[in-house]
Amino acid sequence: MKIWFNRWFTTVLHYMEMIRNNEDQRKFIIYGSHPNRDALYLQYCDFAFEEPEITGDKYVDFCLDFCKTHGIEIFVPRMENVLISKRVAEFEAIGVKVLVCPDPVLMEMMDNKAVTYQELLKNEGGSIFPIPDYIVVNDVAGFKQAYAALKDKGHKVCFKPVIGEGANGFRVIKDEMDSIEQLFRHGTSFRIPFHYACDILGQQDTFPDLMVMEYLDGREYSIDCVSSKDQLYAAIPRMKGDGRVRELVDHRELIQLAHEFHRKYKIPYVFNIQVKYNNGIPKLLEINPRMSGGMHISCLSGINMPYLAIKILLNEKIDAKQLKPKFGIRASHIEKEMILLSDTQKR
């Protein structure tokens, strides 16, 4: 089967290999694309292509044309996945299965952290996940007011864009400037002095919506989930330890919360929930309706989550009794050199 990954994170190379080395010995021809022809995951593809630098509906049109031209049967999108969700029917009409939640309203909700919080808080009986205190602002005056309001509640304060991936734009506000000791002995920090943040944000009259929120100082967990619309087959909590250490934990509270969320919203295929504890309470950071950048660590549990998601997409029967994840696994990673092939059209 021909399967295509468009513009993805570098770690998608792990998912390509897991799909290629599936337990059913099913053969896949893997296509990959990226605007940067040196993107490392292209080295793991059978066929690799350079993408045009376009966005929006023009990009979705490019995806449709790419699928037609190359006879793609399964499409695993990251870039513009919300728009692609809106136009899934156009891909299905040309025989392409798309590994994306087909509910565009739900996709748009999860793409915006503030809207996700608002939606969850509307639930009868309250949010499934406890929500951090937060205020959305788009100018420096609002930022200062939000900071003061959260400080008055006794919170350490942080901020991040309402739309974004990973830790992009995330900062913790501190009251003091860096010392010479910090400057000389520490690397780039995600902590920023309040007045410095105000100076940056004050460069424009308005800026894209920013969430100013309480900083959660407990352990962070990323819960990787694989599911059909009707059943959550696996939820693997991955605890973020010190440095690059990660641990797969049989955390009943978090697994139960993942099941409650799926029963309510019925996201199919694969999704990720990120929470962080504060005073013993797991508060929601964000929900990602796609494979997370670190899901390959969760797959050390013995569950091939990318391939399982493909089988669900193809409406194949899943024996849930065979899915017995192993917990208690601690893992990390080191950098590895890679010689770039001059011709990425050949594996």
Task: Write the pLDDT tens digit of every residue in 239-268.
Answer: 999 889 999 999 999 999 999 999 999 999
Contacts of 142 (CB under 8 A, 6+ apart): 135
One-letter identity of residue 152: D
Residues 310, 19: contact at Cβ < 8 Å?
Answer: yes
**pLDDT at position 56, please?**
96
Question: Distance between CA atoms of 142 and 234, rounded to whole angstroms?
Answer: 41
How are beta strands 157-161 and 171-174 bridged, if at all?
antiparallel
**pLDDT at position 190, please?**
82
pTM: 0.91
**pLDDT at position 8, please?**
94
User: Residue 113: which H helix or E strand, with range?
Assistant: helix 113-121
Half-sphere exposure of 20 (CA within 13 A, CB side): 14
Residues 114, 209: contact at Cβ < 8 Å?
Answer: yes
Burial 227-247 (b: 16+ CB within 10 A, else e): bbeeebbbbbbbbbeeeeebb
Weakly modelled stretches of the chain, pLDDT under 70: 166-167, 177-189, 342-347
**Residue 310: CB atoms within 10 Å:** 25
Question: Distance between CA atoms of 278 and 95, rounded to whole angstroms?
Answer: 47
Contacts of 53 (CB under 8 A, 6+ apart): 35
Question: Distance between CA atoms of 102 and 84, rounded to whole angstroms?
Answer: 9
pLDDT in tens, 288-325: 999 999 999 999 999 999 999 999 999 999 988 889 99
